[in-house]
Amino acid sequence: MLTFILRRILITIPMLLIISFLVYLGLELTPGDAVSHMISPDLTNTVTEEQMAAMRESLGLDKSFIERYWSWLTHIVQGDFGHSLSGGVAISTIVLDRLPATLELSIFALVFSTIIGCVLGLLSALKRGSATDSALTVVGMLGVSIPEFFFGLVAILIFALNLGWLPVGGRLLPSYDSYWDHFPNIILPGLVLSLMMTAGVMRYARSAMLDSLSREFIRTARAKGLPQWRIILYHAFRVALTPVVVLIGFRLPTLIGGSVIIEAVFQWPGIGLEFIGAVRGSDYPLVMSIALLSVLAVLLASLIVDVLTAMIDPRVRLG
């Protein structure tokens, strides 16, 4: 298993290099140069032209493009992404500051949608052709068709503005003492973000389940005289799980993307909200860094999915 993971990591490295190169290219082509990214703009006034020139030289800006890229890359590997154009804060500080909020929201949505999606999909497949099945199918369709932000707005209107049960947005308030105090804040954004994913997982789990229920080995299991629940859970569901896990892996980028808009709707102070701010303010170093990190997240997610499928499905381990 370890060699499998190592090999899997090794094949993503060239990909990451190419993408980082493209991102750097984008950075070079947009206004502002590396010096302005690397020193805090607050200091710009106190730094003289000569010092800037010296700095450029020490940073190697007089060097070739490839050398500059290499130096940028080595900084990034060490966790130094340079500085944001607005406020001059180190990008790594911003990311570390915002990351917990985004992780919290994404993991909530991931766990919720996986469990609920699988259960509903299973139910739908077992009750195929029934009223429950049709109702779930239509609800699933609606789930993937309503724009998330619109759903979020309606949820805010009903549960926050009219009923006043839950807060309109935000995450941590100064008055909160313990970590759990902000739990009401995550309910709406978490559920809204889960909605599309849940619907997707449900639809997929249903068809994967129907597919595995129609396989020959189900007949073998029945011919053995196994009880119905064991056939469904041990044989059909276990086999249906592999494609569902793969689908969830494929959807993770969508989840990351979805959280950008949901964070904006609910003013959830995560990476997505920061990213939108950076795009609006043309804060290119920040935009590029977050984009690069999101690629890293996607690649990491697909690595986890590969490891998971290898664990679930013995056939994959060979390949």
Partner 1 sequence: MGKASLNRKFDALRAKEEAGLLKPASGSRALRKMMSNQLAVAGVVIFSIILLASIFAPLLTVHDPLKVDLRSMLQTPSAEHWFGTDRTGRDVFARVLYGGRVSILVGLGSALLAAAVGVGIGAYTGYKGGWVDVVALRASEIFMAFPQIILVLLLVSITGQSLMNLIIIFVLTGWGPMYRMARARVLSLREEEYVQALQSFGVPTLKICYKHILPNALGPIMVNITLTTAMFILAEAGLSFLGLGVPLSIPTWGNILNVAQDLRVLQNNWWLWAPVGAVISLFVLSVNFIGDGLRDSTDPTLQG
Partner 2 sequence: MANDLALSVKDLKTFFYTNKRCNKALNGVSFEIRKGKTLGVVGESGCGKSVTASSIMQLLPRLSRIEEGSITYHSERGDIRIDELERDGAEMRSIRGEEIAMIFQDPMTALNPVYSVGFQIGEALQYHTDLTKKQRGERVIELLTAMGIPSPGERAKQFPHNYSGGMRQRAMIAMAMSCNPKILIADEPTTALDVTIQAQIFNLMNKLKSENDTAIMLITHDMGVIAELADDVAVMYMGNIVEAGTVDDVLRRPQHPYTRALLDSIPILGRGRDQDIKSIRGATPDPYERPKGCQFAPRCDFATDACEVMPTEEAVTDTHRVMCHRYKEIFENA
19 binds, among partner 2, partner 1, none (CB under 5 to 8 A by kind): partner 1
Maximum Cα–Cα distance across the chain: 86
Q: Does residue number 223 form part of the binding site for partner 2 (CB under 8 A)?
A: yes
**Least distance (Å) from partner 1 to the CB of residue 32?**
13
**Least distance (Å) from partner 1 to the CB of residue 297?**
8
Q: Does residue number 290 form part of the binding site for partner 1 (CB under 8 A)?
A: yes
Query: Terminal CA-to-CA distance of the chain, rounded, Å?
Result: 12
CA–CA dist 250, 286 (Å, integer): 26
CA–CA dist 148, 319 (Å, integer): 38
C-beta of 187 vs 291, nearer to partner 1: 291
By CB under 8 A, how many residues form the interface with partner 2? 24
Q: What b-and-e string marks burial along 210-223, b requiring 16 or more CB atoms within 10 Å of the CB? A: bebbeeeebeebee
Residue type at position 241: L
CA–CA dist 97, 91 (Å, integer): 10
Long-range contacts, 128-133 (Cβ 8 Å, 24+): 128/210
- Surface-to-core class of residue 163, CB atoms within 10 Å of its CB (0-12 exposed, 13-18 middle, 19+ buried): exposed
Query: Hey, which residues does 219 pair with through a beta bridge?
Result: none
**Least distance (Å) from partner 2 to the CB of residue 4?**
16
187 binds, among partner 1, partner 2, none (CB under 5 to 8 A by kind): none
- Could you say which of 226, 291, 295, 303 contacts partner 2 (CB under 8 A)? 226
Q: Does residue number 105 form part of the binding site for partner 1 (CB under 8 A)?
A: no
- Could you say which of 260, 270, 274, 310 contacts partner 1 (CB under 8 A)? 260
Q: Considering only residues 44-73, where is the footprint of partner 2 by CB under 8 A?
A: none
Angle at CA 108, nearest 5°, toward 136 and 169? 100
**Least distance (Å) from partner 2 to the CB of residue 214?**
9
Residues that bind partner 1 (CB under 8 A): 15, 18-19, 22, 26, 29-30, 129-130, 138, 141-142, 144-150, 153-154, 156-157, 161-162, 168, 253-254, 256-258, 260-261, 264-265, 275-276, 278-280, 282, 284, 287-288, 290-291, 294-295, 298-299
Residues that bind partner 2 (CB under 8 A): 215-217, 219-228, 230, 234-235, 238-239, 242, 312-315, 318
